[in-house]
A and B are shown apart, each in its own frame.
Chain A
């Protein structure tokens, strides 16, 4: 019994067959015509593609972290719990943390230190409180739609230096990507304008290694902020010693490594695909058709990275700002003055409207 080989059309996916008149493969659905060799090439490639990613993170060994806590390390540390938002931070007992860095609530209770992993590495603070204040001031300068009163009436409730827990992901990946690319050319003669679109199947395969991709392990801090303060310079990372903590607070992680790995996977896959896509040159357009990533040597470290957390109260609302304690990158959301917004809109609209109307009337 003979089997019928079915080939799929690279353009629309329908079943195509050999057309003896043109000696080419013809698709009855989308009318595209292909060289027999090209279709075979395409079919083989697609058939041999591995479907689905292979992502394997070694489970984070909680007993690692360069050894367990030594007893002398933990003797001075206390846990502080906020009654209002449930945030829990850790600090030197001399810290005497007075208000919650997350919600501004002044009532926090000190408890015995427990339930926190010893980090693998830490990046110490390079910038001090004054630098944070200055950065805040600079951030509010030149913001046209910021309400004027913000600069005078808001006050920095608190500026706290916190070591934020991050999971750092290392891996070696093997990425296989297939792109649909086109080359479009135009030309004309006396009677017609012509457009030719040539379709290509572009394959790129490569190894992309990632080191220390950070995902924050604290649910209390918005990931948009903790990602926006990147990058950190890991060359300045050191093995953890409690000494670095004194004078600062440290956050306990409440999102574990496995949960955070989802975000890491997203970023890694995106980055790997883009790296491959950047090597595709000479085409008018290029879009990924299928990407497959296989990961190896995936391991996770646990680090404490320095952030300055500033809370400002304005009009009864709390605005949070974050500064990278190592690089000084400042991130935050400022309120917008609605009146100014509409004034600017009307102003630009009126100005451009008058200008364009005048041009439309006189020139064309």
Chain B
């Protein structure tokens, strides 16, 4: 569980909460900041919650990437970290990650976290939105939460339904076989037993035509995009 506590921010160099649009009250802001600090210390990754009035014509993802890159966020050589951007003017949000943690926080997981956060943004519950963001980050990086699996995996209910359907089929086949034991009066469609002579007199195999069809293979979608600074980020964005 996430613990809200006052910690000595060794990484106080970069604030973890930059609330330009003043969406949070000062108490809320303090709580969020502390929680974010705790995450940073705990998991050796940078965390930033950023709110702004306008994206200045950029896309939400580009704005988030650039702020993160140019403001010097990110720990370790690979500049590990994750940012949540809320732009109140365009009503856009973006989540962007960089560094080794992209293995966990890939496009699809950022998308999933965004989906959890977005409802609170829509209703104006900004504190809850930020809270949920931090909780999700904590959950996934600690391993408590498991990312939903890639690409069209069948949920458990569906699999059980298929298992039952198969069992039905097997049972049907078995009893039909048992039933056919009882009756062996079957007409004989062939007269093979009575063939006294067979001689092939002519054979000819002629090619007529052919055609080829092709289907595109499921490409493993590559993760991430390149930001203006040349760094590779993973992330997602959306409206609220």
* Interface residues in chain A, defined as those with a beta carbon under 8 Å from any beta carbon in chain B: 10-11, 32-35, 38, 41-42, 45, 142-146, 172, 174, 181, 188, 190-214, 222-225, 227-228, 230-231, 264, 266-268, 270-271, 274-276, 279, 322, 331-336, 341, 344-346, 348-353, 355-357, 359-361, 364
Known contacts: A38-B208, A360-B160. The answer to whether A208 contacts B178 by CB under 8 A is no
**Minimal beta-carbon separation of B79 from chain A (angstroms):** 32
* Interface residues in chain B, defined as those with a beta carbon under 8 Å from any beta carbon in chain A: 154, 156, 159-160, 162-164, 166-168, 170-172, 174-175, 178-179, 181-217
Which residues of the partner chain B approach A356 to less than 8 Å between Cβ atoms? 163-164, 166-167
Evaluate contact between A224 and B168: CB separation under 8 angstroms: no
Evaluate contact between A200 and B208: CB separation under 8 angstroms: yes
Q: In the assembly, what is the distance between CA of A228 and CA of B183, in Å? A: 11
Which residues of the partner chain A approach B162 to less than 8 Å between Cβ atoms? 360
Among candidates A227, A268, A274, A334, residue contacting B182 with C-beta atoms closer than 8 Å: A334
Known contacts: A228-B184, A333-B185. The answer to whether A195 contacts B214 by CB under 8 A is yes
Interface of chain A: mostly helix, strand, loop or mixed = mixed
Evaluate contact between B184 and A200: CB separation under 8 angstroms: no
Q: In the assembly, what is the distance between CA of A172 and CA of B198, in Å? A: 10
Evaluate contact between B215 and A192: CB separation under 8 angstroms: yes
Which residues of the partner chain B approach A225 to less than 8 Å between Cβ atoms? 185
Which residues of the partner chain B approach A353 to less than 8 Å between Cβ atoms? 163-164, 167-168
**Quick one: closest B residue to A233, CB to CB?**
B193
**Minimal beta-carbon separation of A11 from chain B (angstroms):** 7
Q: In the assembly, what is the distance between CA of A204 and CA of B205, in Å? A: 9
Enumerate the 5 nearest inter-chain pairs by beta-carbon distance, A residue then B residue, closest first: A356-B163, A353-B167, A352-B167, A349-B171, A198-B210
Evaluate contact between B205 and A202: CB separation under 8 angstroms: yes
Evaluate contact between B199 and A206: CB separation under 8 angstroms: yes
**Quick one: closest A residue to B208, CB to CB?**
A199
Evaluate contact between A32 and B171: CB separation under 8 angstroms: no
Evaluate contact between A193 and B217: CB separation under 8 angstroms: yes
**Minimal beta-carbon separation of A212 from chain B (angstroms):** 6
Which residues of the partner chain A approach B183 to less than 8 Å between Cβ atoms? 332-334
Most buried by A among B156, B181, B182, B189: B182
- Could you list 5 further interchain pairs (A-B, Cβ under 8 angstroms) beyond the known A192-B216, A345-B171, A350-B167? A204-B200, A230-B188, A266-B189, A276-B200, A341-B178
Which residues of the partner chain A approach B201 to less than 8 Å between Cβ atoms? 174, 205-207
Q: List 24 A-B contacts (CB under 8 A).
A: A11-B208, A11-B209, A34-B208, A143-B182, A192-B214, A199-B210, A201-B205, A203-B203, A203-B206, A205-B202, A206-B200, A210-B196, A222-B185, A228-B186, A228-B188, A267-B191, A270-B190, A333-B183, A334-B182, A334-B183, A355-B167, A356-B164, A361-B160, A364-B159
